[in-house]
Structure 1
Amino acid sequence: MHRILAAATVVILMIGTAACTQRDDKQTAAAPTRVTVGVIPIIDVAPIYLGKKKGFFASRGIDLVLSPEQGGAAIVEGVLGGKYQFGFSNVTSLMAAQAGGAPLKAVAAGVSSNGRPGRDFSAIVVADNSPIRSARELGGKSVAVNTLKNLGDTTVRQSVRRAGGRAGNLRFQAMPFPDMPGALQRGQVDAAWVVEPTLSAVLTQGGRVLASNFVDTAPDLTVALYFTSQGTITAKSTLVGGFTEAIRESLRYAASHPGEVRDVVGTYTQINDTVRIAMILPTWPEDINRPSIERVAALGQMDGIFTKPPALDQLLP
């Protein structure tokens, strides 16, 4: 009898231990992975904020943390340095880093121009009292951009070229997008390259659009991409796959819910209701427009931004 009881006790303990182990395994499997993404607080990244809000990342086991930066170059450095697992950056920053040997890989489209001259989400603007009436007149003038030697330089120069002006002697001045409306009003700069919601902030203050620089650069320009490091792709392929799926779902959702886009932008930028309602929306296609990126690459080489031609086959998915 004692032997039977002892054996039964052992069996019960084994079953209990196995059950606890199964519960622990389930808890471990269910524990979300904390993922930090570098973003720029502009309308471009509205989909990822919506995706977090709607649970698209959580449903794939991702605890998403969004960290604002001033520009794409800083986000590239953050991904390469391990500060961020993923990042959002314009195509020029990514191509410049890749051409310099950085092991980066895009995983999904980010944002695209809507292709409408005068009504795109990006524009070159001047103050209401500015004597400048055309991008052709920007030669020798100061132009605010968020970062130097980047997408702003290239696309602004292209608008000046298309208008028949001299693009080689523009004087670019770096500053955060939210500071640009005030800088224009104070006469600190002659013009500024802005994207939404800063564009609507300028326009509601009486500013004027000189040119739609993205439209002038390439049809349906793919402006930015979500990306990671080659090391992350190799070591964490399941995570990369889940993140990519969540981003693509977020892009689809944003494209079909413009009202929610306007609402969510107000949660990570300081804008009033007038600006929120007036914002011109970009497009968020899931597919990357490679010819448009090739165009930006060619212009960047002409402007001396790239040390050597970017290898797009290595950078793009």
Structure 2
Amino acid sequence: MTLPVAAVVTLLASTACGGGGQEGGDGDGGGNKSVTVGAIPIVDVAPLHLGADQGIFDKHGIDLEIENTTGGAQAVPSVVSGDYDFAFGNITSIIVGRSNDLPLTIVSNGVTSTGEQGADFGGVVAPEGSDITDAKDLEDKTVAVNNLENIGDTTVRNSIREDGGDSDTVEFVELPFPEMPAALDRGDVDAAWVVEPFLTSSLNGGATEVASNFVDADPDLSVAYYFTTEQMINEDPELVDDFTAAINESLTYAEDNPDAARDILGDYTELDSEAIDQIRLPRWPTENYQEPAQSVADLMMHDGVIESQPDMDALFR
């Protein structure tokens, strides 16, 4: 089981941060640099895989290696320890890490809500036949999330409060996204917060969507970002610039080519073609993605996940 970020930060505070990527190519200093990026294998990171497939990272001098993670709570310590040069992680994990003096810095947007109720790329679902029909009905229920004290439970609690319910009565259970649909079917949990492709999979299996928790938090919420460490930025700013340029170009390519974004899903997920055609794609903007992060910080303060407001300007490069 992946530990919450708050449980690992003290173990990592004195760990050496990752340095620059390893030199690739022919070894004469003129080749690409090998860069390892940690990313959870979900729809959100389609631009990352698409950028590799389209040669965008190669164009920017990067040989990209993508390592699968379970979520931000795994990605944060892996970046701090140097296992990953960069990672895709949700804003909650990054804020918690930064609040505990981990030298994390966001270099680009990762994924943004569609802003549409009932049509976002993530949501809370209840199994077929359940008496849960809205967020308030989640009171006194068990809800699966991929990481505890993270973006899922933080935004779900907010949805419950927004709907007039008592969020303190909910029990959150940590499960990997791929295991959630089966857990719902077995009755192991009463509801689950899922993102694509697991949202569509759950709905096709008869589940009912009862909350759009990202939209409830902020219609323009950027749920996750690509980040690295301050040491990486200080030691190899050119590599960070190259990675940022490459991922931004990849985000724009995915935004402008939704069919290509769908097609690439078959390369790193187990989705079949029918499911790929049905899933809801998020947005991948490269501008105006910083301000909505404050909405999450405010929710984290409300729930006691962090004790003081973080310096959001310092969090972004």
With normalisation by structure 2, the TM-score equals: 0.90
Q: Hey, what does 2:294 align to over in structure 1?
A: 294
Cα distance per residue 1:138-180 (max 9 Å; x no partner): 1110000000000001110111111111111210001110110
Tell me the distance in 2 between the aligned counterparts of 1:127 and 1:107.
38
SS state of the match for residue 228, structure 1?
strand
**Contact 2:116 2:219 survives alignment (8 Å):** no
Cα distance per residue 1:270-312 (max 9 Å; x no partner): 1122211110010000024333111110110111111432221
SS state of the match for residue 108, structure 1?
strand
What one-letter code is carried by the residue in structure 2 that aligns with 1:228? T
Tell me the distance in 1 between the aligned counterparts of 2:290 and 2:59.
30
Compared with structure 1, are the counterparts of its residues 77 and 26 closer, same or farther at alpha carbon in structure 2 (3 Å cutoff)? closer
Tell me the distance in 1 between the aligned counterparts of 2:178 and 2:275.
13
Residue 30 of structure 1: how far off its partner (Å): 3.0
Sequence identity of aligned pairs in percent? 44
Q: Hey, what does 2:6 align to over in structure 1?
A: none
Q: Hey, what does 2:55 align to over in structure 1?
A: 55
Q: Hey, what does 1:200 align to over in structure 2?
A: 200
**Contact 1:154 1:299 survives alignment (8 Å):** yes
What one-letter code is carried by the residue in structure 1 that aligns with 2:265? V
Cα distance per residue 1:20-71 (max 9 Å; x no partner): xxxxx99624321110000011111000100000111111211100000101
**Contact 1:222 1:288 survives alignment (8 Å):** no
SS state of the match for residue 168, structure 1?
helix
Cα distance per residue 1:4-35 (max 9 Å; x no partner): xxxxxxxxxxxxxxxxxxxxx99624321110
**Contact 1:159 1:213 survives alignment (8 Å):** yes
Q: Which has the higher helix share?
A: 1
Unaligned runs of 5+ in 1: 1-24
Tell me the distance in 1 between the aligned counterparts of 2:283 and 2:87.
19
After superposition, residues 100-249 of structure 1 pair within 5 angstroms as 100-249=100-249
238-247 or 129-138: bigger deviation: 129-138
Count the aligned residue pairs.
293
**Contact 2:146 2:174 survives alignment (8 Å):** yes
Tell me the distance in 1 between the aligned counterparts of 2:64 and 2:222.
24
Find runs of 4+ consecutive structure 1 residues off by over 6 angstroms: none
Tell me the distance in 2 between the aligned counterparts of 1:309 and 1:155.
17
Q: Hey, what does 1:79 align to over in structure 2?
A: 79
Q: Hey, what does 1:3 align to over in structure 2?
A: none
147-156 or 25-34: bigger deviation: 25-34
SS state of the match for residue 167, structure 2?
coil
Q: Hey, what does 2:18 align to over in structure 1?
A: none
SS state of the match for residue 224, structure 1?
strand
Tell me the distance in 1 between the aligned counterparts of 2:175 and 2:286.
30
Q: Hey, what does 2:251 align to over in structure 1?
A: 251
SS state of the match for residue 57, structure 1?
helix
What one-letter code is carried by the residue in structure 2 that aligns with 1:220? D
Unaligned runs of 5+ in 2: 1-24
Tell me the distance in 2 between the aligned counterparts of 1:270 and 1:292.
32
What one-letter code is carried by the residue in structure 2 that aligns with 1:247? I
Tell me the distance in 2 between the aligned counterparts of 1:313 and 1:55.
32
Residue 131 of structure 1: how far off its partner (Å): 1.4
**Contact 2:301 2:308 survives alignment (8 Å):** yes
What one-letter code is carried by the residue in structure 1 that aligns with 2:79? V
With normalisation by structure 1, the TM-score equals: 0.90
